[in-house]
Amino acid sequence: MRESTVRVGLIYPELLGTYGDRGNALVLAQRCRWRDLAAEVVEVPAGAPIPDSLDVYLFGGGEDDPQNMAAAGMRDSRAAIVRAWEGGAVVFAVCAGFQLIGHSYVAADGTRLDGIGLVDAVTDPGPDRLIGEVLVQPDAPLPTLTGFENHGGRTTLGPGVRPLGTVLAGGGNGDGSGGDGALGERLVATYLHGPVLPRNPALADHLLQWVVGDLRPLDSTWEERLRAERIAAGSKTGLAKWWQQRMLNRG
């Protein structure tokens, strides 16, 4: 059994917490405790340096101005984040957080701002916002993921970077590749909100396994009921969009 406490870092929650992504931290900590593993959520407020002592780094979603402020702080703490990640920590980034761990993104005023470059990815503005339920079939050994997206950016992955999975319904990265997010060594990025980990307990456990190793199974009946409900909703949305596009193409 792991002797030390699992430290789940919630980075800049007042800036990167627009869509309830705090729930991702709570889920990771609780799924540890249900297994008798000590865990704590460590909040790193905006303006504070990000420490290199966390086991999991959670970067959530945010609106334009908060995202820009978060970007500056993350750049200042880049060395600590990289040191932790290369030392075995896990990085999980959602929406704005995903854009911020890439090389760059374009702000609302058209300025291209630097990210911290953990992932070979760039984000450019799209012609419209991608909003609605999303289904993703992961490339990792995980079941279908469900989430909700709301973003205007289009993220392009560099050569050799794997997406988290293939989009079955919704927009995902929105760059025409048909993928969502990015998947690397102890790193997952995605456009899925919800928050995504309460919706997808297998993904939460996938992240925790990188930290603590093999996990004993939990009864996730209620979580799986929620996942099934959201998959059904996402499937209907995807079918409706497919039918609408078919009718438009027929003229």
Peptide bond preceding 143 in cis form (omega within 30 of 0): no
Q: DSSP assignment, residue 177?
A: S
Here the tokens at position 55 are: 């086991």
Catalytic residue, candidates 32, 103, 151, 193: 193
Phi first, then psi: give them for residue 92, nearest 5 degrees: -130, 120
> Catalytic site residue 95?
yes
Buried b (16+ CB within 10 A) or exposed e, 68-103: bbbbebbbebbebbbebbeeebbbbbbbbbbbbbbb
Catalytic residue, candidates 95, 103, 151, 206: 95
Which run of H or of E encompasses 39?
strand 39-44
Q: How far, in Å, CA of 224 to CA of 240, rounded?
A: 24
Task: Please identify every residue annotated as catalytic.
Answer: 95, 193
